[in-house]
Each structure stands twice: as structure tokens, then as C-alpha cells.
Structure 1
Amino acid sequence: MKAPQNRASGHVTTGVEPSRRFCVAPMMDWTTPHYRYMARQLSKRALLYTEMVTTGALIHGDTERFLHHNAAEYPLALQLGGSNAGELAHCADLAQQFGFSEVNLNVGCPSDKVQNNMIGACLMGHPDIVAEGFKAMQAATDIPVTVKHRIGINGRESWDELCGFIETVAAAGCKTFIVHARIAVLEGLSPKENRDVPPLKYDWVYRLKAKYPQLEIIINGGIKTVNECHQHLVHSDGVMLGREAYHNPWILTQVDSEFFGEPEKTVSRHEALEAMYPFIEQELARGVYLGHISRHMLGLFHGIPGGRQFRRYISENAHKPGAGLDVLRQALAKVPQIDAATAFTEA
């Protein structure tokens, strides 16, 4: 069918199914349109995900605001939080109307707020509800529908229960599972602690791929380097990075060459930021404060001389009334121009 128009930006998708060989995880307050636009300057092939958006927010809130994005962000997946099959179907249809490349169901978020609304990791205890929601989403859209989940939740942490979850949802038609290789502890740990405290069990994700070779299994959780990605790709179909891709976004410049066989990135960090100036000017003209944009760029010079001064200058000045591109130019002036491929360790 004809690629749908992105009503938020006036552009259309490419109609190409996204590759999940390398993905950047959905992260609340982090994978905003401003971060994603920057990430796309560094990698054209990495699959990007939005923050989780609940079905209630899309149906009863400002739909345009929640789904706003720029076509330059493609390939881009929308992550949904919800459990009502009819609402999920409606929002999956919205995802296609707004031009997203994929729609993903969140079955991994452990926060109390989403649990109380039957959203996120608690759904691992209700595989039939997940299967019903997936089936409704798939029927409502032509774009890929995927599920992101944990390897279990407290009280349901066995290998057999994980396999039961996979088999139930796969029977509804799901072919792609993005697996965070930790259980989620639904009581007593904060969402932040749930990303660190439960031990990683990468071998369980490997075993899933071995047991269900017909399924696409993407591994997520604690991955920090390109070398680690290559090791995981021996046993899985794709990797998903979260915090490392945010705090050290320059790692994305290796993605296209390392995982997709394309020429190495030759852009410098200065050039990558300067390439964003027209976009930033457009956002400022829309009334967006510079600080809401620049906070996502603080890691761009992670680990190189001048990086701390760059971050400090932006942190101290981007929030001031009328702050604009001059703040970024002054911050850039504090970092020496270096060759794109050169790596430094920050003192």
C-alpha cells in the first residue's frame, strides 16, 4: 500500500522495513525527538525508538504532540504502553498514519504507575492479554508489530514460564521479541534499580534463539561496546543499546560500518553538531527552549579533552532567557577540533 503521510511533519516514510540488527532502546525523557535527530546525524541505519507513549495519552491527550517527529529520524519505531486490545489497535493504526516504521508493545517497564494501569512488565504475568493485544495491533496496521519484554518478573522467573510467555505471544503471530536480559522486580525496586540490580542472564536470551530459531530475537540490557555487540550477534539476531547510546552517543558513528557494511563515518563531532543548527533554529522558532534540546547533546564529547567544559557551559547557559545557537557555538569553541576517527580519554 502507499506509504502513509506523516501528519506531524508533512513527510512520508520510505516504506522499507526497518532492520533490528542495531537498535537504540526506548527511554523515558531521553529518546525524545531532539535526541533522535542528533542520533540520526551519527547513524543512518540504527533503528531508533520513541519514549513509551501510553494508549490513554494518545486517545485522550494531544495526539499530535505525542507523535510529533521529523522524517529525518526514520527508521523510527513507536513504543506503546497499554493492555486494552481495542485501544492498542487504535494506536497501532495511528502509528501507521503518522509514518512510523514499526510499533512496539512495552512489556518491560517496572514502575508502579504503569503497573497500576496494567502496562509494562506486569503483563508478563498475563501472556494471554499480551497475545490478544498483539493480535489486535497486527490486524490494525501493515507496519511491523513487535514486543519488548523482560526474561521474567518476581514470582514468575523460571525458564519454563519465559518459554510459555514466548509461545503464547508467538501463537498470536508475533515474530520479533526484544528481550531485556533481566527479570523485573515489581515491588521494592525503583525503575532505575531495575536496570542494574537484577542480574543479567544473557545466556537465557541465547537459549531462546536456539529454542525458537524461527523467531527474531533481539538482546537488550547492559551492552556498552561494539565488541560486546558482535559477541551477542553470534547468538541473537540483533542488539539494542540504551544508556550507553545516550551518554556516549558517538558510539553510533560505528554502527553503519560495523553492522551494515557501509563506509566508515568521516564526520567530526563539531560537524555533527553544526549540522543540527537549522533544525535547532526551527525548534527555537516553535517556542522550544534551548535547554530542552541541548540536554540531549551533553554526551557528544564524552571522553575527549574539553568535553567537561562543553557540558558545563551548556548546563550553565542553555536555560537562560533567549538562549540560542550562540550558546552552542561558545560551547563548541571550548573543544579542540580533532580528526573524526581520533579517540581520547578525558582527564
Structure 2
Amino acid sequence: MYADALKHGQKIFAVAPMIDWTDRHCRFLHRQLSRQALLYTEMVVADAIIHGPRQRLLSYSPEEHPVALQLGGSDAGKLSEAIRIAADYGYDEINLNVGCPSDRVQSGTFGACLMRDAGHVADLVSAMKTVATVPVTVKCRIGVDDQEPAEVLPDFLRRMIGAGADAIWIHARKAWLQGLSPKENREIPPLDYDLVYRMKRENPDVFVGINGGIADLDQAASHLKVMDGVMLGRAAYQNAGLLAGVDAAVTGTGPAEVDWLALRDRMMAYAEGVIAAGGRLHHVTRHMVGLFQGFAGARRFRQILSAEATRPGAGVEVIAAAFAAVDIEAGSRVQPEEKKLAG
């Protein structure tokens, strides 16, 4: 995937892994909006895969491809075992989390705190490459705490490349492991896009993607003039409708035209399956609340999903009622992209 992208000058648009957000129901919705976007799971801890309910943690709809599994861990043996187990599920990529700053992750000595020991991360990547049959990638920060990013990031990339990482996704902010919450770590440390651009310029033969503070497809297109890939997190989740413009922008095939009623029907059928399997409607619809930002009736859409889908025994008719509240024809804001992302 990444080697072909570099060889043919193709750009990759990805939706970032987000704990509690990018579960399989979220990814199914996102795939209905974009066939091209690379989707990531929530971070799954290697220990949980080895000892926990692996079917619940790893199963997903075949429609989600291309989909990457993000792993958390700092033990090479456990990460390798988790990859062996996950191989049966057919993920398209294995990604190592070296960016999450949460206390829970720090207590397991993985995530962003691994930025302090690039040599150990390189050993982890090398071990993962030994057992993986798909690309192994790393998602990192530009540094942590009192590290000087301009000094530590080049060395970090050098070690990851030497260990065989197929791609490196860089969140263009430092992480403060003490004193800032995960939410604050996504907002307060200043963005340093220029440093990430420099990493790409210095590593022209390595796939390097950028993440952090990217709000829309115009900004994504600007980054892709330099970078190989762009990754959106909160913007893609909270305003999922923007994903409807990705395929036209990535492939340059023309304006994006969303058949919203067909999307409604697909999500209703999917939700019926989830409910039949013992789930609740809200497990699906909580990811749909941001679909119609900018549309007439969007507020009522959100109200219906928020109030009705959480009721015990709620059925898929709630989705139909929510869509009926939106003036889809009058309110559509999906327009031809002025900038092709591949450009």
C-alpha cells in the first residue's frame, strides 16, 4: 500500500484512530461516505487481544477495508503475539501507538512516553515486522515534555526507518505527559507543521503522513502538496459529512454526489443487524450525529438521534425520522473540491 503510493505519487487520506470513537460502527459509517479513506481502529492493547475477548475487540465488517489495526504496548513478545492473533482477521495494516498521552496509557509505559526511548521503539517495530504480513507503521508525536523536537524527531525517524517501518504518521504537536489532559494535549501544545514538512523533505523515499489540527479538505490539500498522507481526527468525526468529498478529491473523478437516502437505508439495515445481535441503536447512531452540519434541519436531526435512539427498545425507525427532518436537497453543502488532494 505505502510502497505503491510512493511509487505512483498517490496520496493517502486517513481517519485517525480515536479511543471511544472509531469503533466498528463508526468505521462502517465512514466507509459509506468514502471508499478511498484509510480507516483506523481505536487503539487496542496487546494484552487485551491476548487475554481478552478478541472476537469483540478485533471483528469488523468486511466493508471497512482498507482498515488498519492500531496496537498499544511496549513488550515485543506481546505485540508479536497480538499480531499473530489479529492475522486471522485480515487487517490491511498494523500501527504502533507512540502518541497517546493519557494516564492510562502511561501506566502501561506505552503510547507517547515511548518517544523517550527511540531505540526501544525501533526494537518493537523490528519484532513486529518479523511476524506481520502487512505494513507495520508508527504514529508518533514530535516529542514529549522537555524534549527539543527539532533534535529528537530526526533521530526517531531514522531509527524507525532503520527498523523497517513502512510509514510514519506524525501528530505535529508535542505531548506533555504531566499537567495536561489528553484533550488539552490535542489543543494546547503548538503545532509545528514546518518541522514535519522537514522530516518529509529529509526522507523522500519514506512515506510520511501528517496529523494534528487539520479541519477540512482544503487544509488537507495544502498539506498534501508536501506530505504523502494526511490524517484527520476530530474534524472527520464531528463533521462526518466532509468525508463525502474525499473520494472526488483523492481520485479527481469529479464532484461528490451523496445519495443520502441510500445512506439512510444502508445504516438502517446495518443497525438492524447490530440490534439483532444484542446491541442497541445508540451504538450506531451516536456516530451519526455530526452528519449534516450546515444542512437545513440538522439541529432537529441531532435532537432526534440524541433523544430517541437512546431509549430502551429504540428501533431503526428513529434513523428514518431523523433523516426526514433534514432538507437534504436545499441544505446540501457537498460541493466539487477546488483542489484535488493528489495535487
Normalised-by-shorter TM-score class: over 0.9
Q: Distance in 2 between matches of 1:94 and 1:220?
A: 29
Provide, for residues 18-72 of structure 1, a one-character-per-residue CA deviation record: whole Å limited to 9, x for no partner. Answer: 8761000000111111111111111001000000000011111101110010000
- Residue of structure 1 in register with 2:95 after alignment: 104
Is 2:150 aligned against 1:159?
yes
- Residue of structure 1 in register with 2:221 after alignment: 230
Task: State which of 12, 22, 31 in structure 2 corresponds to 1:21.
Answer: 12
Q: Distance in 1 between matches of 2:142 and 2:267?
A: 38
Comparing 90-99 with 138-147, which one deviates more in the overlay? 90-99
| 1:177/1:218 contact within 8 Å kept | yes
- Structural mapping, 1:48-63, within 5 Å: 48-63=39-54
| 1:304/1:343 contact within 8 Å kept | no
Q: Distance in 1 between matches of 2:176 and 2:260?
A: 39
Provide, for residues 199-242 of structure 1, a one-character-per-residue CA deviation record: whole Å limited to 9, x for no partner. Answer: 00000110000111121110000101111111101111010000
Provide, for residues 47-101 of structure 1, a one-character-per-residue CA deviation record: whole Å limited to 9, x for no partner. Answer: 0000000001111110111001000000000000001001111112233221100
- Structural mapping, 1:315-326, within 5 Å: 315-326=306-317
Q: Distance in 2 between matches of 1:222 and 1:50?
A: 20
Give unmatched runs, 5+ long, in structure 1.
1-13
* Amino acid across the alignment from 2:269: P
- Residue of structure 1 in register with 2:163 after alignment: 172
* Amino acid across the alignment from 1:213: P
Q: Distance in 1 between matches of 2:149 and 2:285?
A: 43
Task: State which of 333, 337, 345 in structure 1 corresponds to 2:324.
Answer: 333
- Structural mapping, 1:95-134, within 5 Å: 95-134=86-125
State the Cα RMSD in Å: 1.9
The percent of aligned pairs where both chains have the same amino acid is 45
- Residue of structure 1 in register with 2:211 after alignment: 220
TM-score under structure 2 length normalisation: 0.92
Q: Distance in 1 between matches of 2:333 and 2:117?
A: 49
Query: What is the Cα deviation at residue 116 of structure 1?
Result: 1.3
- Structural mapping, 1:270-289, within 5 Å: 270-289=261-280
- Residue of structure 2 in register with 1:8 after alignment: none
Q: Which has the higher helix share?
A: 2
Q: Distance in 2 between matches of 1:240 and 1:52?
A: 16
Q: Distance in 2 between matches of 1:66 and 1:267?
A: 31
Is 2:258 aligned against 1:257?
no
- Structural mapping, 1:81-92, within 5 Å: 81-92=72-83
- Residue of structure 2 in register with 1:6 after alignment: none
* Amino acid across the alignment from 1:232: H
Query: What is the Cα deviation at residue 158 of structure 1?
Result: 3.2
TM-score under structure 1 length normalisation: 0.91
- Residue of structure 1 in register with 2:257 after alignment: 266
Query: What is the Cα deviation at residue 157 of structure 1?
Result: 2.5
- Residue of structure 1 in register with 2:338 after alignment: none
Q: Distance in 2 between matches of 1:137 and 1:340?
A: 47
